[in-house]
Amino acid sequence: MSATPARASRALLHAACAIALIAAPAAAATQTNALTPTQHARVGLVTDHDAVRPGQTLQVGLRIVHDPGWHTYWINSGDSGLATRFDWTLPDGAQAGPIRWPFPERLPAGPLVNFGYSDTLLLPATLRVPDSLRAGERFRATLRARWLICAETCIPDEATLALDLAVARAPRTSAEAPAFAATLARVPEPLPATGHAWRDATHVAVQIDDAAWTRDAARIEVFPLTPQVVASTPIEARLGPDGALRFRHPASEAFDQMPARVAWAIGVHAPDGRFRAWEVALPGEDARPQRR
């Protein structure tokens, strides 16, 4: 497939963002719960515990308070941009899980549409305290976080943030615990599902069988977790009388080949204001003639 001007422009944007993010300067280290000014944001490291016991897991997250009009990116950034990255330095025996990405928003940027976050964001990850620590000691870890923050222009930035918690016989939750609960409620949960996604000449069509979990929705939002499959514009999904959720959306200009599996984040807004998000992965099929 030959590159269109729009596709070439997106590729150049991604390459420029990647080079800039590698070269970003580091902000000074901060203490847990403190917010440090960075380029067009304030950031800090927060946790759902003030004290931990050996062997337990806890939630630790990067809080980003964006300046008005500025945003950072989801795991799939959309037409341009780069997802935030975490690099942990941990004591022996400690473990860190991946970023648990809350449901995003669409962020128009001229002719492009990106996926990400504005206003105040909490990006959580799960840490496991080493079994070898003892009450009276400290659990210390360091996070190097790197992100791209954009408005009309994009600026790479990073901060190195310190975590220092007391180790006790009994854990003690922090005042941040409700913020983590609210954020984790917006993280798509993996949902076993049957169905399929297929590509014709211009569009990708999706059918998710037995989607009763969307039946009473006031509004359904769909984002592609798999990048460069569909256009980043809003997707209109409808529940059919047979209980299947379907949508058909223009293929991405960067589309090259249908992946074997295609993943989607689906947000369900209930009439009473409650929100649930699900992650669904389906087999992919390319109905176009294969190139020789």
22, 256, 258, 286 from 229: Cα distances, Å: 26, 8, 7, 11
- pTM for the whole structure: 0.86
Consecutive H or E run containing 181: helix 177-184
Contacts 24+ apart (CB under 8 A), 108-111: 109/79, 109/80, 109/150, 109/152, 111/6
Tokens 């800039």, residue? 20
Residues 6+ positions from 55 with CB-CB distance below 8 Å: 128, 129, 130, 131
Pairwise CA distance, residues 60 & 190, whole Å: 21
The pLDDT value given to residue 288:
61
Pairwise CA distance, residues 132 & 94, whole Å: 9
Q: Is pLDDT above 50 for 27? A: no
Mean pLDDT of 213-237: 96
Q: Kindly write down the DSSP assignment for every residue of 61-74, as one continuous string.
A: EEEEEEPTT-BEEE
pLDDT, tens only, 77-123:
999 999 999 999 999 999 999 999 999 999 998 889 999 999 999 99
Which 8-state DSSP code applies to residue 24? P
pLDDT, tens only, 134-153:
999 999 999 999 999 999 89
- Name the residue among 212, 209, 213, 233 with its Cα closest to residue 222: 233
Lowest mean pLDDT among 39-43, 67-71, 284-288: 284-288
pLDDT band at 287 (very low <50, low <70, confident <90, very high): confident
